C-alpha cells in the first residue's frame, strides 16, 4: 500500500504529471524537460527526484547528459491510459507533446539546442 500512496503523492503535482505524460512518448534529457516546462534545472531535478523516489522514472547517464524514461512499474502501466485520457484535452499537453515530438525526431546533437528560447 505504501508504494501506491507514494505514486499518488508524486502524481499530485501538475508539472510531475506533465513530465510523466511526456515520458510516455519516449526518453528525454533533463534540459529538454527544463525547456518544455519553462522551469529551472534545479526545479526539474527536484521533480524528477520525487518521481524517481516513487519508482515512476529512471535515469541513464551519457557523459554529462542525463536522460529520463518511465520505469516498468505495474501501477504506472495501469494508470498510464487514464493519464493519457485525462490530459488529452489540455492545451498545455498538446503544446508539450508537439515539443517532445520535435525533440524525439531530431538527432542527439540537435536535441537540447532545439528548444532553447522557446519556453
55 and 7 in contact (C-beta within 8 Å)? Answer: yes
Average pLDDT over residues 47-58: 96
pLDDT digits (tens, 9 = 90+) for 104-119: 887 665 666 655 555 4
Q: Which fold has domain 2-107?
A: Arc Repressor Mutant, subunit A (1.10.10)
Q: How much of the chain exceeds pLDDT 90, in percent?
A: 74
- HSE on the CB side for 7, CA within 13 Å? 19
Confidence band for 2, pLDDT divided at 50, 70 and 90 = low
Residue-wise pLDDT tens digits, 4-42: 899 999 999 999 999 999 999 999 999 899 999 999 999
> Would you kindly state where each structural domain of the chain is located, as residue ranges?
2-107
| pLDDT the model gives residue 114 | 55
Amino acid at each position: 500500500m505504501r508504494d501506491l500512496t507514494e505514486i499518488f503523492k508524486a502524481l499530485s503535482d501538475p508539472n510531475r504529471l506533465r513530465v510523466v505524460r511526456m515520458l510516455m512518448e519516449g526518453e528525454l534529457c533533463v534540459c529538454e524537460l527544463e525547456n518544455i516546462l519553462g522551469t529551472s534545472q534545479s526545479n526539474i531535478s527536484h521533480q524528477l527526484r520525487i518521481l524517481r523516489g516513487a519508482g515512476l522514472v529512471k535515469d541513464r547517464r551519457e557523459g554529462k547528459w542525463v536522460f529520463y524514461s518511465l520505469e516498468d512499474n505495474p501501477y504506472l502501466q495501469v494508470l498510464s491510459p487514464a493519464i493519457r485520457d485525462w490530459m488529452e484535452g489540455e492545451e498545455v499537453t498538446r503544446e508539450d507533446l508537439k515539443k517532445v515530438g520535435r525533440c524525439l525526431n531530431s538527432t542527439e546533437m540537435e536535441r537540447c539546442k532545439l528548444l532553447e528560447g522557446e519556453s
